C-alpha cells in the first residue's frame, strides 16, 4: 500500500486538483483523464469536511493480466483470455464490467461522494430519521435539521406499524410501505423482517396486483429502471444512468402477464420492486445490489391505453423480430455493463416469450424464470417430502396437472428430469407418466398441431377428454397438481373421484392467491 501511495503521489503530482483532494467535478477533460490514469495505479481515500470521497479500485489491464496469471498458474484457464466474440453481443474486453461501469462519466469515474447534512436526510440508504445519535448529528451536520428527540429504531418500528394498521385498505398500507422504503430504507427492511407474515401480503401478492393495476394513479417516485422502445440503440447508456454499479440481481419484466391480471404494460414495475424487496428481507441480498427493470414495449390493454394516468408508451405491444432485437440489445448491454455473473430473473413474461428467452440465453447468461423454475422446485420439494409419508418413488406415481402454462409445464419438466435422474430412464419415457389439462381439455396427440411449442412434449396417445373430472376418471392419477388461474375447479366431485381409487389422499395448498383466483393445489395419494 505504501508503494502504491508513492506511485499515486508521483503520477498525480502535476495535478492541482489531486493536491487539493478535489473530486474532479470542476476539472477540464484533460485533467480528468490524467487523474483517471493515476487512479489506475492505486487506491486513494480523502476525508473532507462535508463527507468523504472513496476510490473505486481499478487496475491497468496489462499489469492485472500478468498478476492474475501468476496467481492462478500458467496452465489455468483465465477469463481475460476469452475471445470477445464468444459472448452475446460480441462481449467486452473487461469480462466482468468493472472498467466499463465507470466509462464516459461526466465526473471523475473513480470517485463517489457521500452526502451529509440536508442531503443525507433525503438519501434513503443512509437516512435514519430521529434515530441519528447526538454524535452523528454533530458529525454529519444535522444540527437543526431534526427535532431534538433521539429515538431508537425499535420505537420507530412500533410507531410505523401502529400507523400502518390504522389503514383500512391494503392498497393504502402498500403505499405507506413504499413511502417508507423511499425515505428510510433500513427501517423499511427492519419492519418487513420483523413482521413478515403481516407485511408480505402487503409488499407482494396479493396487494401488489392491485397496486400494478393502479400504478399510474399512485406513482410518485421511480423505484427502478424503465427501458422503453424509445431507448432502442441506447440501452447501455440507460443502464449507466442507474447510480449503483455492483449489481448482482436484476428482476426484469415486460408486463405482459402480471400475475393473473394479464397485460399491464409499464405498470408491471410493482412486481420487480416487490420481488427484490423480499430477496433483501428474506434472502439477505444487499438492496444496492438489486435492480428492478421494466421493459416497455407497449401494451395491448385498451383500458390502459385510454387511461390519462398511464405511465407507459401509448402504443400496441411490439412482437416478432422487433421484440427479439430489443431484448437482445438489453441482454447484451446488461452483460457489458454488469458482467457475466449478474443474475437476470425473467418475471411475468407471457408464455410464448418466457420459454424462448430461457432457451436463447440459458447458455450465455445467468438467467432464471421464477414462474417456470422457482415454482417447480418448490412443488418438487413438496412431492419428495410427501413420499416419506406415502412411500415409493417418483417414478411409481402417475401425475395429472390442471393448467399447462409456465408453472404447470415447468413443474412437469422438473419432475420428469428428477425421475429420469433417479431411474436412469430417458426423459421422454418419464414424461409419459405426466398428463396435463388445459382450457381445452386433456393434452393429447390429436391436438399436437394446434398446441404451443412448450405443451407439445406432453401430448400423449389418448382419446380426447374435455374436463378435469373426466380426466381424473380416465387417467386415475395418484398425484393431482393445480396450477390454473381459474378458481373453483378442484370441486368435491374431483376430490371424491381421486379418493375412490386411492387409499390415502393428501391435499396440499401450495399457493393460493384469492385476489386473482389462482389455484395452486397438490393432491398426493397412495394407491389401494
Q: Is 214 a catalytic residue?
A: no
What's the gap between Cα 384 and its chain centre?
A: 27
The residues near 491 (Cβ < 8 Å, ≥ 6 apart) are 469
Residue 475 and residue 376: Cα distance in Å, rounded? 22
| Active-site residue, selected from the candidate residues 128, 174, 226, 275 | 275
DSSP percent split of the chain into helix, strand, coil, nearest 5: 50, 15, 35
Report how far apart, in Å, the C-alpha atoms of 225 and of each of 206, 363, 369 are.
23, 25, 19
Q: Is 432 a catalytic residue?
A: no
| Angle at which helices 185-194 and 153-166 cross, to 10° | 70
Q: Residue 255 region, left (φ>0) first, then alpha (ψ -120 to 50), else beta?
A: left
Q: What angle do CA 392, 396, 399 make, to 5 degrees?
A: 120
CB 410 within 8 Å of CB 346: no
| Active-site residue, selected from the candidate residues 204, 215, 310, 323 | 204
What are the cell numbers at 243? 447510480
Q: What angle do CA 420, 421, 426 make, to 5 degrees?
A: 35
Residue 73 and residue 68: Cα distance in Å, rounded? 8
Residue 257 and residue 224: Cα distance in Å, rounded? 19
What are the cell numbers at 480? 393431482
What's the gap between Cα 493 and its chain centre?
A: 39
The residues near 520 (Cβ < 8 Å, ≥ 6 apart) are 375, 407, 482, 483, 509, 510, 511, 512
Peptide bond connecting 213 to the previous residue in cis, omega within 30 degrees of 0: no
Kindly provide the residue ranges of all beta strands, DSSP E only, lying in 459-518, ordered along the sequence.
479-484, 502-511
DSSP-assigned letter for residue 15: -
The H or E element that residue 183 is part of is helix 170-183
Write the DSSP assignment of 190-214 as a string of letters: HHHHHTHHHHHHHHSTTHHHHHHHT
Write the DSSP assignment of 275-303 as a string of letters: HHHHHHHHH---GGGEEEEEEE-----HH
- Which amino acids are annotated catalytic? 204, 275
Amino acid at each position: 500500500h505504501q508503494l502504491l501511495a508513492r506511485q499515486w503521489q508521483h503520477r498525480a503530482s502535476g495535478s492541482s486538483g489531486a493536491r487539493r483532494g478535489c473530486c474532479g467535478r470542476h476539472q477540464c477533460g484533460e485533467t480528468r483523464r490524467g487523474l483517471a490514469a493515476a487512479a489506475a495505479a492505486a487506491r486513494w481515500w480523502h476525508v473532507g469536511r462535508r463527507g468523504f470521497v472513496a476510490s473505486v479500485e481499478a487496475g491497468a489491464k496489462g499489469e492485472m493480466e500478468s498478476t492474475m496469471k501468476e496467481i492462478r498458474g500458467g496452465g489455468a484457464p483465465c477469463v481475460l483470455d476469452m475471445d470477445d466474440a464468444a459472448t452475446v453481443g460480441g462481449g467486452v474486453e473487461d469480462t466482468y464490467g468493472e472498467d466499463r461501469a465507470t466509462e464516459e462519466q461526466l465526473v471523475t469515474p473513480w470517485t463517489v461522494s457521500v452526502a451529509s447534512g440536508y442531503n443525507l436526510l433525503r438519501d434513503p440508504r443512509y437516512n435514519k430519521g430521529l434515530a441519528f445519535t447526538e454524535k452523528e448529528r454533530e458529525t454529519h451536520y444535522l444540527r437543526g435539521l431534526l427535532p431534538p428527540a433521539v429515538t431508537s429504531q425499535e420505537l420507530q418500528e412500533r410507531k410505523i406499524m401502529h400507523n400502518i394498521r390504522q389503514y383500512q385498505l391494503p392498497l393504502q398500507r402498500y403505499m405507506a410501505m413504499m413511502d417508507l422504503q423511499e425515505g428510510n430504507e433500513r427501517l423499511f427492511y427492519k419492519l418487513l423482517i420483523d413482521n413478515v407474515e403481516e407485511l408480505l401480503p402487503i409488499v407482494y401478492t396479493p396487494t401488489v396486483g392491485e397496486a400494478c393495476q393502479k400504478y399510474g394513479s399512485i406513482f410518485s417516485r421511480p423505484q427502478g429502471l424503465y427501458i422503453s422502445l424509445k431507448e432502442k440503440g441506447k440501452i447501455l447508456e440507460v443502464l449507466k444512468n442507474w447510480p449503483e454499479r455492483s449489481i448482482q440481481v436484476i428482476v426484469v419484466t415486460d408486463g405482459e402477464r402480471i400475475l393473473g391480471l394479464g397485460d399491464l404494460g409499464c405498470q408491471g414495475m410493482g412486481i420487480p420492486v416487490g420481488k427484490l424487496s423480499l430477496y433483501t428481507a428474506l434472502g439477505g441480498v444487499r438492496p444496492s445490489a438489486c435492480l428492478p427493470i421494466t421493459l416497455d414495449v407497449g401494451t395491448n390493454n385498451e383500458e390502459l391505453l385510454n387511461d390519462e394516468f398511464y405511465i407507459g408508451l401509448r402504443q400496441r405491444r411490439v412482437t416478432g423480430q422487433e421484440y427479439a432485437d430489443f431484448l437482445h440489445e438489453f441482454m447484451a448491454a446488461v452483460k457489458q455493463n454488469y458482467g457475466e455473473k449478474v443474475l437476470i430473473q425473467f418475471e411475468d413474461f407471457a408464455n410464448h416469450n418466457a420459454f424462448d428467452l430461457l432457451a436463447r440465453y440459458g447458455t450465455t447468461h445467468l438467467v432464471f424464470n421464477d414462474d417456470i423454475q422457482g415454482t417447480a422446485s418448490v412443488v418438487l420439494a413438496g412431492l419428495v417430502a410427501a413420499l416419506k409419508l406415502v412411500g415409493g418413488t417418483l417414478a411409481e406415481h402417475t401425475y395429472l396437472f390442471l393448467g399447462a402454462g409456465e408453472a404447470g409445464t415447468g413443474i412437469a419438466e422438473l419432475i420428469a428430469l428428477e425421475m429420469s435422474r433417479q431411474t436412469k430412464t430417458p426423459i421422454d419415457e418419464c414424461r409419459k407418466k405426466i398428463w396435463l389439462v388445459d382450457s381445452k381439455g386433456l393434452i393429447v396427440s390429436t391436438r399436437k398441431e394446434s398446441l404451443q411449442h412448450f405443451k407439445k412434449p406432453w401430448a400423449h396417445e389418448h382419446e380426447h377428454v374435455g374436463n378435469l373430472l373426466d380426466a381424473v376418471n380416465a387417467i386415475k392419477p395418484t398425484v393431482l397438481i393445480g396450477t390454473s388461474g381459474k378458481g373453483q375447479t378442484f370441486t368435491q366431485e374431483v376430490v371424491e373421484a381421486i379418493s375412490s381409487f386411492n387409499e390415502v389422499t393428501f391435499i396440499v395448498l401450495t399457493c393460493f392467491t384469492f385476489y386473482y383466483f389462482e389455484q395452486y393445489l397438490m393432491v398426493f395419494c397412495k394407491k389401494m
